[in-house]
A and B are shown apart, each in its own frame.
Chain A
Amino acid sequence: MLGTLMRFLPIITQIFLWGAVFSALPTGNGSEGRIVGYSYHDMVAYYLLTMLSRAFSSMPGLASGITREIREGTIKRFIVQPIGLLEYLFFYRLAHKLVYYSVAIVPFAVVFYLCRGFFQETPHGLVWATYIASLVLAFLLGFFLEATLGLLGFWFLEVSSFLFIYMLLSFFFSGHMFPIDMLPEPMATVVKLIPLQYLAYFPAAVFLGKVQGAALVTGLLVQAGWVIVFAFLAQVALRRGLRHYSGFGG
């Protein structure tokens, strides 16, 4: 619990950093300075919201756990036992998240309460519904994406370098440091095409009303599409991998 609260400490620096950035913006005709449509309050709210997105989408230890099972050979229990590996991991992860966040909700609530001033308007019912849908999809996407990466272990045995690249890319391109709209072209277009933005950026942008109307519907559909793609890839990787698998270890 103390650990979770500590994870919020960087928020302090971020709030002041953005404060400093926005205070230096040229403000014409009395309007508040904005960066790609985000006011100072939006920016801080955005940062807080991506922390929430990542609470859903980040899967610490999932991929490396799968590779370890492959390397050490313990994965064969899933061959002989009547449970699917992906199903087992999925419900394990779900339960873990539920238990963890039923406790961690307290520090989250405290932080959001303290920072409530940064949320200028609360979204109406429909936005709430789509927001929650996008969070659930973010969880699913995070799970299947990392599971696929972990299952690559059938062919590579050590996937930590893949994971590192994944972590690095998602640090920058999932938008958890800043809204990805800030990226210059052509990077912004590329980033909008790859699935990483749905792990952090998209839910937060939905909540703040940055994505509306048709774009909202398309975004949600594309997000769901990516979930299906990676769920499929994970299944294929598992099936092919098990055929490839030669059972190392005891």
Chain B
Amino acid sequence: MPQPLRYLQIFATFARNSLIRDMTFRANFLIEFISSLSWVFMNLGFYILIFHYTPSLGRDTGWGKYEFFVFTGTALMINSLAGMLFMTNADNFGELIRRGGLDFVLVKPVDTQFLVSLQRVDWSSSGNFLVGLGLAVYSLRCLGVWPSPVTIVLYVFYLLCGVVILYSLMFLLAATAVWLGRNETLFDFWFYIVSFGRYPMEIYEGRFGRPFRWFFTFIIPVLVAINVPSRFLVQSIRPQSLEEWLLPLYTIAATVIVFAVCRAVFQLALHSYRSASS
């Protein structure tokens, strides 16, 4: 069997097993499902309230109410995918190292990073994804613009780039568990950094905003993860400068680079792994 197909099959098995596991504790699954949805709705309530008072986020940025909701829908989709596929696994990685469970992963004839990253799928986050999708579709309908098939293809592509960027940052931090032992604060750090990307990058304006935006675009590319795909859908956000034309191209490069760095650090971490006494 060709390699990619084999990996796909392994992933399908992981996904199925996780679903079985989630369905075994159905009540717990339902509670987690509902509780993560409630947070989403609370946040949406906050945004609706904001747009009760302001016509748009920032003067002449084009981020009106529904444009912003397309953005938020995209953010929800990207974040929930990252959460669903990788979050539990990243959490678990520290445990694998502390208890020496990584030994059993290392001996398997499958790529270690793949195995560590995707072993568990957290299905309870799937509700957030659906809400995000629904929100984006609904907002597009309110805006009265339907993206062309090409736009949709580009959108999905950049959505996946966004997920890869978030994944890479997450496992970059998770890998440091090998050296640090405990790294829970680092996870909070990931969460806070990613939350910078929850708003359109145009809001980072002014003397402090500009350098801030630059830093989180070019050094830690969290701002492009959600902004770039969203812009494809929202037509009123037209690229105005050369810089903005180049942004989608840059995003591809950023995705590749940040993933490569993550991969390299992860391999380095595996080499430093000394197992744990059993």
Contacts and interface: CB of A to CB of B under 8 A. Distances in A.
Nearest to B196: A13
Nearest to B50: A21
B54 interface: yes
A36 B189 CA distance: 34
Nearest to B202: A20
Contacts of A19: 203, 205-206, 209
Contact of A21 (B42, B57, B189, B195): B57
Interface residues of B, number: 35
B46 interface: yes
A1 to B, nearest CB: 10
Nearest to B200: A20
B188 A24 contact: no
Nearest to A9: B192
A196 B54 CA distance: 26
Interface string B50-68: 1011111111010100000
Interface residues of A, number: 29
A54 to B, nearest CB: 16
Contact of A13 (B53, B54, B199): B199
Contact of B45 (A2, A164, A172): A172
B38 A168 contact: yes
A21 B185 contact: no
A41 to B, nearest CB: 14
B49 interface: yes
Interface of A: 2-3, 6, 9-10, 12-13, 16-17, 19-26, 35-36, 161, 164, 168, 171-172, 177-178, 182-184
Interface of B: 31, 35, 38-39, 42, 45-46, 49-50, 52-59, 61, 63, 185, 188-189, 192-193, 195-196, 198-199, 202-206, 209, 212
23 contacts: A2-B185, A6-B185, A6-B192, A9-B193, A10-B195, A13-B195, A13-B199, A16-B199, A16-B204, A16-B209, A21-B50, A21-B53, A21-B57, A23-B58, A23-B205, A24-B57, A24-B59, A25-B54, A35-B53, A35-B54, A161-B31, A172-B42, A183-B49
